[in-house]
Amino acid sequence: MTPTPLLPDAVPASGDRRRHPAPAHLVFFHGPMDCGKSTLALQVDHNQSRQGRHGLLLTQGDRSATPQISSRVGLRREAVEVDPGTDVRLLVRDRWAGGHRVDYLIVDEAQFLTGEQVEQLAELVDESHVDVYAFGLTTDFRARLFPGTQRLFELADDVQRVQVQVLCWCGLPGLLNARVVDGVMVREGATVVVADTAPAPVPSADGDDGDGAGGDGDDVRYQVLCRRHHVRGLLEPTPTGPGQLALR
Ligand SMILES: [Zn+2]
């Protein structure tokens, strides 16, 4: 029996799609922090690669030396770090030029994309038949759409809200992200503050776990709230609230 060659054959990059042009799609999944977007991103990648398709994973704002998409349930995969100056079309064409297939893109942290980059993704879908699966936050800490998110809402073939698994402290679905600086919810400041996007550690007694993740000496963290408590800026039950026990 002749062994099946394991090396890629001489099919030109994205040759399958060019021979059998099938419509590709730009799909955007969005939700609040901690709703499982990165886990879903890795699941989509897994499902696609099981069908023999080749993907390229992109992320942004990864502060580690080895960019990756990682999920809270322990999955992780290497990814290519992009910044606002990256032309994602060139990124894909460079892979093709290097003899690699790129059938689909997984784009995590898509809220950080520029509008221009979203348009580049749409071009890859329409002109090169590359499927794009983008994952990102819906709104910033002021409850306003991120620029990348807005452009994806405008251009994506399919927009899906990730099934919310994260709850406000009151038990209602948490849909909005609050920025908390030194224990207080803030409503002004830069759209993007590089803070620790991992789940907030249980604060120690002195309120500083010493890892310096907040930067600039401020303890910056994010907390997901329901709309009512985002409007009120309430991060926890008030001691005087009706029917609630005093907490201190
Ligand atoms: Zn609430």
Q: Does pLDDT of 197 surpass 60?
A: no
d(CA 93, CA 101): 10
Summarised one tens digit per residue, pLDDT across range 102-157 is 999 999 999 999 999 999 999 999 999 999 999 999 999 999 999 999 999 999 99
Q: What Cα–Cα distance (Å) separates residue 26 from each residue in 69, 115, 131, 160, 211?
A: 19, 14, 6, 11, 38
* Residue 123 CB-density burial (10 A; 0-12 exposed, 13-18 middle, 19+ buried): middle
Summarised one tens digit per residue, pLDDT across range 14-35 is 545 455 567 899 999 999 998 8
CA of 209 to the centre of ligand 1 (A): 26
CA of 185 to the centre of ligand 1 (A): 14
pLDDT value of residue 11:
43
Q: Indicate the pTM of the whole model.
A: 0.76
Q: Quick one: residue 90, left, alpha or beta (phi over 0 = left, psi -120 to 50 = alpha)?
A: alpha
What does the DSSP assignment read for 108-171?
SSGGGS-HHHHHHHHHHHHHH--EEEEEEESB-TTS-B-HHHHHHHHH-SEEEEPPP--B-TTS
Give the bridge partners for 178, in sequence order: 223
CA of 35 to the centre of ligand 1 (A): 16
Summarised one tens digit per residue, pLDDT across range 55-73 is 999 998 766 667 888 887 7
Residue 235: both structure tokens together? 């991060």
Q: Where in the chain is the domain with CATH 3.40.50.300?
A: 21-161
Which position among 109, 119, 127, 236 bears the catalytic label?
109
pLDDT value of residue 154:
98
Among 196, 136, 197, 192, residue whose Cα is nearest residue 162 = 136
CA angle 68, 120, 143 (to 5 degrees): 70
In the CATH scheme, what architecture does the domain 21-161 have? 3-Layer(aba) Sandwich (3.40)
109 is catalytic: yes
pLDDT value of residue 75:
82
3-state secondary structure of 35: coil
- Given a contact cutoff of 8 angstroms between Cβ atoms, the answer to whether 105 and 132 are in contact is yes
Among 202, 145, 130, 167, residue whose Cα is nearest residue 30 = 145
d(CA 7, CA 173): 48
CA of 32 to the centre of ligand 1 (A): 14
